[in-house]
Amino acid sequence: MISLRAVSPIASNNRFAPEPVLTPDPAMPRPKLVLASASPRRLELLEQTGLAADALLPAEIDETPQPNELPRTLAARLASEKAAAAAKIMALQPALEHSFLIAADTVVAVGRRILPKCDNHDEAEECLRLLSGRQHRVYTAVSLITPRGAERQRLVETRLRFKRLTQAEIDAYVAAGEWRGKAGGYAIQGLAGVFVVKLIGSYSAVVGLPLYETYSLLAGEGYEMLTPWLERA
């Protein structure tokens, strides 16, 4: 079952004001598009919109949650910090001047408990035990830095429920290694897809980049989205 998307608008300036939809000037060359990530899954999702990143600028930041930080707040903060860090790198590269920059972050939580991006077997097994037979939430924030230096952001909340996992399933999934570096210790686009009983929200956001929100952010800032589609005809 897939339905309903819960979305919270966030922007760095005047966060709750409606954003005007800008019309691209056909006489102007297409601005470059930079993805602040080295994630193959985010790159594939971006390409699914018909766009190709002109550059990849992964940003290394401290992703440690702050004391009592809520999962949705963490996702929004980390996406914003990734965007800011990548923008600093981009500013040192003249070829990327006046580019659009996209950054994203995904947080998995059970209640207020934020699950780690697992880097060892014990963490992965603990996450799977916690998720087994229970509902959890995935928060994915996507931040856009415009050529004018303004930040726009969207936050997507998706609710999921896993089947009750057997010990054999947990052991086999941990052995398969898909959990490495993944928030919550699983990758929905891989073997863990068979664990999902119910999903309410955005599948692409769980994978790592919400397509509707990414499209809307770029189109709302005047980035020409449809030309690549027409070029496929």
Give the tens place of pLDDT for each residue, 112-164. Answer: 999 999 999 999 999 999 999 999 999 999 999 999 999 999 999 999 999 99
Contact between 41 and 207 under an 8 Å Cβ cutoff? The reply is yes
14-55: pLDDT as tens digits = 333 444 445 555 556 789 999 999 899 999 999 999 999 999
Q: Looking at the 3D structure of the chain, how many domains does it have?
A: 1
d(CA 106, CA 78): 9
- Let me know if residue 25 belongs to a domain: no
Whether residue 135 lies inside any domain: the answer is: yes
Q: What is the DSSP letter of 31?
A: P
For residue 62, tell me if it sits in a domain: yes
Lowest mean pLDDT segment, chosen from 4-13, 135-144, 176-185: 4-13
Summarize the confidence of residues 57-84 as an average pLDDT. 96
Q: Domain of 219: which CATH number?
A: 3.90.950.10
- The verdict on residue 24 lying in a domain is no
Q: How far is CA 162 from CA 159, 186, 193, 202, in A?
A: 10, 11, 9, 16
19 in a domain, yes or no? Answer: no
**Residue 18, in any domain of the structure:** no
Domain assignment of residue 136, yes or no: yes
Residue listed under structure tokens 């899954």? 41
Task: Please identify which of the residues 25, 54, 62, 105 carries the catalytic annotation.
Answer: 105
- Determine, yes or no, domain membership for 14: no
Q: What pLDDT does residue 231 have?
A: 83
Q: Which helix (H) or strand (E) holds 171?
A: helix 167-176
| Beta carbons of 185 and 124 less than 8 angstroms apart | yes
- Average of pLDDT values for 76-92? 97
Q: Which residue range(s) make up the domain with 43? A: 2-9+31-231
11 is written with which tokens? 């922007």
Tell me, yes or no, if 171 is annotated catalytic. no
> Per-residue pLDDT averaged across 53-61, rounded?
94
Neighbouring residues of 17: CB distance < 8 A, sequence distance ≥ 6: 11
Question: Is 144 within 8 Å of 10 (Cβ atoms)?
Answer: no
